[in-house]
């Protein structure tokens, strides 16, 4: 597949400089996430409460409500950006991302099944594990239906099919629930939200997300070699089977755990790698960490915006990422048509 000509002529930044800029942006947004919320707390009092643990209600708000939300925003964003970059690197297709190809939707199905069958109540780890299983199944399915030799068309078709099936099944399970609230929650699962999360969710999902990200970050060199095609990569010493399984396991772990606690947030894995790619000169090994940081920034930013735009409602995170991401996706398709013409 011929390389995609990028229309954005951004300069290639020295890795150190880019890392510092992105790191600074993520840190700033993390702090903003800690400081913004309906409680209307002052800057000094909230930071003091967070660090020192003195102040009763303020401490509760900072440590039990805002901190888990900010941590999850950081981790979920990093997972989505990184897994998008990794999938694109392996499939050599800039349209691959967990939301678009149905991985997030099947992870949501797994999570909903864990909750509605009561497994999650029996054993608290059942929730992320079933979400993980769902994610893993769909990655396997997508690779089988439209592996690296399948072009963009096969990939998108497979993604549509898997997403549709998973979404319908999730909706069905929720509607069959004896709980009247469950039927209305399809929106949360399909659009994602970080509202009212607790440190319990962080402890549940963070280890799996970190483990998954570690696996995905290890793919850098293999993906670099894959730039030249499978034969050349194999001849350069890349073990393709091992690479594929690392991708599957890493994506399942990371995306599964993220969806289990935050729902399916779309488009991050599509937009962030595309924006970062010119800044890192296209090499997948440099793109992976940049996409992780960029994804963290995007989700933290969206979560801050959600609280500024509609402070008293629970505006779903996926609404904002879709408002940015869907036009971007259209732009990407438009570009591809021009190149192929």
Partner 1 sequence: MILLRLTDLRVRRGHCPVVDGVNLTVDAGEFIGLIGPNGAGKTTLLRAALGLLPFEGVSTLAALPVAERSRAATFLPQGRDIAWPVSVGDLVALGRAPHQPGRLTAADRAIIDRALMLMGLGGFRERKATALSGGEQARVLIARALAQDTPLLLADEPVAGLDPEAQLRCMQVFAGLAAGGRGVVAAIHDLGLAARFCTRLVLLDQGRLVDTGPPRTVLSKANLARVFHVQGFHAETPDGPVFQPTGVLR
Partner 2 sequence: MAGPVHPPARVVSINLCTDQLAMLLSDPGQLISVTHLALDPLVSSMAAEASAYPVNRGQAEQVFLLQPDLVLAGTYTATATVDLLRSLGVDVVQVPPVTSLAEAAAQIRLIGAALGHRARGEAMARAFEGEVVALTRRGPRVTAAFHYPNGYTTGKGTLADDVLGRTGFSNLGAEAGVTGGGILPLERLVMANPAVIVSSTLYPGASRSEEVLGHPALRALKAARGVASDADWVCGTPHILRVLRRMTALRDTFAAVP
Q: Which residues are near partner 1 by CB under 8 A?
A: 1-6, 12, 92, 221, 224-229, 231-232, 234-237, 239, 277-278, 281-284
Whole-number Å distance between alpha carbons of 209 and 253: 6
Residues in the chain: 341
Residue spans of alpha helices (H) in the chain: 15-35, 43-52, 57-59, 67-91, 103-116, 119-122, 126-146, 152-175, 186-191, 199-217, 220-226, 230-235, 240-262, 268-279, 284-309, 317-340
DSSP 8-state symbol, 60: I
Question: Is there binding between residue 285 and partner 2 (CB under 8 A)?
Answer: no
Nearer Cβ to partner 2 (200/333): 200
- Angstrom CA distances, 154 to 96, 146, 149, stand at 11, 5, 9
228 binds, among partner 2, partner 1, none (CB under 5 to 8 A by kind): partner 1
Question: Is there binding between residue 184 and partner 2 (CB under 8 A)?
Answer: yes
Q: Rounded to a whole number, what is the largest CA-CA distance in the chain?
A: 64
One residue of 178, 237, 340, 341 binding partner 2 per CB under 8 A: 178
Nearer Cβ to partner 1 (121/333): 333
Q: Which residues contact 193 (CB under 8 A, 6 or more apart)?
A: 262, 263, 314, 316, 317, 318
Site for partner 2 in 50-69 (CB under 8 A): 56-58, 60-61, 64-66
Q: Which stretch binds partner 2 (CB under 8 A): 196-204, 206-214, 295-303, 322-330?
A: 196-204
56 binds, among partner 1, partner 2, none (CB under 5 to 8 A by kind): partner 2
Nearer Cβ to partner 2 (37/278): 37
19 binds, among partner 1, partner 2, none (CB under 5 to 8 A by kind): none
For residue 28, the minimal CB distance to partner 2 (Å) is 22
Nearer Cβ to partner 2 (95/265): 265
């Amino acid at each position: 597949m011929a390389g995609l000509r990028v229309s954005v002529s951004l300069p290639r930044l020295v890795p150190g400089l880019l890392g510092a800029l992105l790191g600074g942006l993520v840190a700033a947004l993390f702090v903003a996430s800690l400081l913004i919320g309906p409680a209307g707390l002052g800057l000094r009092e909230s930071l003091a409460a967070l660090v020192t643990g003195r102040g009763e209600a303020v401490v509760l708000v900072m440590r039990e409500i805002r901190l888990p939300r900010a941590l999850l925003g950081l981790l979920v964003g990093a997972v989505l950006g990184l897994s998008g970059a990794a999938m694109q690197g392996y499939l050599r297709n800039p349209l691959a991302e967990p939301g678009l190809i149905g991985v997030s939707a099947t992870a949501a199905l797994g999570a909903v099944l864990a909750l509605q069958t009561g497994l999650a109540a029996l054993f608290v780890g059942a929730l992320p594990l079933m979400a993980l299983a769902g994610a893993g199944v769909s990655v396997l399915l997508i690779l089988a239906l439209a592996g690296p030799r399948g072009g963009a068309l096969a990939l998108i078709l497979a993604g549509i099919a898997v997403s549709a099936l998973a979404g319908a099944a999730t909706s069905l399970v929720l509607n069959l629930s004896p709980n009247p609230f469950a039927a209305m929650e399809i929106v949360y699962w399909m659009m994602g939200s970080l509202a009212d999360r607790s440190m319990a969710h962080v402890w549940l999902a963070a280890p799996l997300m970190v483990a998954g990200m570690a696996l995905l970050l290890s793919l850098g060199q293999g993906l670099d070699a894959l730039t030249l095609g499978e034969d050349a990569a194999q001849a350069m010493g890349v073990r393709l089977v091992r690479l594929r399984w690392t991708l599957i396991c890493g994506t399942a772990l990371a995306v599964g755990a993220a969806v289990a606690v935050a729902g399916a947030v779309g488009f991050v894995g599509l937009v962030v790698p595309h924006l970062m790619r010119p800044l890192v000169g296209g090499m997948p090994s440099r793109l992976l960490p940049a996409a992780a940081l960029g994804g963290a920034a995007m989700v933290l930013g969206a979560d801050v915006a959600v609280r500024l735009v509609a402070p008293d409602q629970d505006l779903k995170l996926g609404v904002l990422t879709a408002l940015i991401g869907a036009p971007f996706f259209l732009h990407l398709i438009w570009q591809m048509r021009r190149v192929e013409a």
